[in-house]
Amino acid sequence: MAEHAIGRDRAGQSRPAGTPEPAEPSRPNVSRPAAAPPAPATPQRPARPASGTPRPARRGARIAVLALALVAIALAGTVVGLAPGVAKHSSAGRQSTAALQRQALVARAQAASWVVQQVDHTAAVSCDPAMCAALAKDGFPAGKLVILGPASPTAPVTSQIVVVTPTVRDWFGSSLAAAYAPAVLASFAAGSAQVSVRVMAPHGVGAYDAAYDSDLGQRKAFGNALLSNLNTSRITITAAARQQLAAGQVDSRLVLAITSLAGDVPIDIVEFANPGQGASPNVPLRFADLAGNDPAANLTSSAYLKAMQAAANAPNMVYAPDRIQTAVFPGHTTVIQVEFHAPSPFGLLTGQ
């Protein structure tokens, strides 16, 4: 290192490289004359700098390392500053996913309960494995459940009803509803958590629409014929229910059943409706609210209900209601509900 460039004499003084060491002084206490300058010699390579002075290349490398270190520190500070926000968004995303899953589970349970109560138990119902398990648990006949899977055909055309869950949408996309299940009987929740109960059209939407249009025309004709003979039919009807009947909105079975019931007991129709939230506007109305009693019957309320139930079970009832029961409206108004299960058949009024 430095010894290669600079020598030291016996007194410890520095001397230039290549300078011969002076001889001992002959007398003590006499100062030694300064050494003569060395004779010119062949030029040599410049001496390496002393160890305390960095070489230019090393200085640049150290500067670069220092700069990288400063950048790393700055980036670390930025990441640390962002970490709480990133964690917050991640936590919010997890909470959102969990909320959707809870909504889907609630909607699935509501749909299962609704199908068991409102769908004819002789109808075939298509569903994903979890939905089918829920339906069977709630009491729907297991033999009428058609279990769907990712490898199922394009549409479960052997079914009358399909329960469209998020899982079924993942498998079939929008093609199932668009091509084979056009009418919604009921829906639960919304968005990606929605579960809907739909009517299947085994021959496609075109065939379903044609059958619906034909049946609608028949329902309108029959309803208006009934309205024109109210004086002889022992049927009283509110203005709202009259409009529904004239527009052909009422299920054909319900119209025929009310006509038959009126032959045994007087009837006062309050309204027609569907027991399904989110139903498509063109789905026929499957139940009627009747007044809990009719003065013309000359019966107590309980006797009136029994008389109507007996008439519904009479042999001459071609289309007996699936349910006749009392219900209490807000304001303590008691009504008798006459109801048919889904889905509504088409073509029953042909020839009527």
Instruction: Indicate if the pLDDT at residue 64 is higher than 80.
Output: no
Q: Give the pairing of strands 267-273 and 235-237.
A: parallel
The pLDDT value recorded for residue 176 is: 86
Q: Quick one: tokens of 133?
A: 């398990």
Terminal-residue alpha carbon distance, the chain: 120
Please name every residue paired with 334 in a beta bridge, in sequence order, or none if there are none.
328
The pLDDT value recorded for residue 232 is: 77
Please, how many CA atoms are within 13 Å of residue 273, restricted to the half-sphere of its CB?
A: 11
Q: Give the pairing of strands 125-127 and 145-147.
A: parallel
Task: Report residue 188: phi and psi, to 5°.
Answer: -135, 135
Element (H, E) at 101: helix 56-118
Nearest to 279 by CA among 342, 322, 220: 342
Instruction: Indicate if the pLDDT at residue 94 is higher than 80.
Output: no
What is the mean pLDDT of the segment spanning 269-286? 94
The pLDDT value recorded for residue 305 is: 92
pLDDT band at 97 (very low <50, low <70, confident <90, very high): confident
Residues 350 and 352: their CA atoms lie apart, in Å, by 6
% residues pLDDT > 70 (the chain): 71
Residues 6 and 19: their CA atoms lie apart, in Å, by 10
The pLDDT value recorded for residue 93 is: 56
For the chain, give the mean pLDDT: 79
- E strands, 215-342, where? 235-237, 267-273, 287-291, 323-329, 333-339
Q: What letters, b where the CB count within 10 A reaches 16 and e where it falls short, cover 227-244? A: beeeeebbbbbeeebeeb
Task: Look at 40 and 238; give whichever has higher pLDDT.
Answer: 238
Contact 9, 29 (CB under 8 A): no
The pLDDT value recorded for residue 9 is: 43
Regarding pTM above 0.85, the answer is no
Instruction: Indicate if the pLDDT at residue 45 is higher than 70.
Output: no
Instruction: Indicate if the pLDDT at residue 29 is higher than 80.
Output: no
Q: Give the pairing of strands 6-8 and 267-273.
A: unpaired
pLDDT tens per residue, range 112-162: 999 999 999 999 999 999 999 999 999 999 999 999 998 877 677 889 999
The pLDDT value recorded for residue 350 is: 85
pLDDT tens per residue, range 219-250: 999 999 999 998 778 999 999 999 999 999 99
What is the mean pLDDT of the segment spanning 293-301? 90
Q: Quick one: tokens of 220?
A: 């309108």
The pLDDT value recorded for residue 138 is: 97
pLDDT tens per residue, range 186-228: 999 999 999 999 999 989 999 999 999 999 999 999 999 999 9
The pLDDT value recorded for residue 82 is: 37
Query: What count of other Cβ atoms lies within 10 Å of the Cβ of residue 209?
Result: 14
Instruction: Indicate if the pLDDT at residue 19 is higher than 90.
Output: no
Q: Quick one: tokens of 81?
A: 């500053």
Q: Which residue has the tokens 């919604």?
A: 184
Domain extents for the chain?
Answer: 108-199, 207-339
What is the mean pLDDT of the segment spanning 288-307? 92
Residues 92 and 98: their CA atoms lie apart, in Å, by 10
Contact 185, 198 (CB under 8 A): yes
- In this structure, what DSSP letter does residue 341 have? P
Residues 289 and 104: their CA atoms lie apart, in Å, by 32
**Ranked by mean pLDDT, which of 56-60, 101-105, 330-334 comes out on top?**
101-105
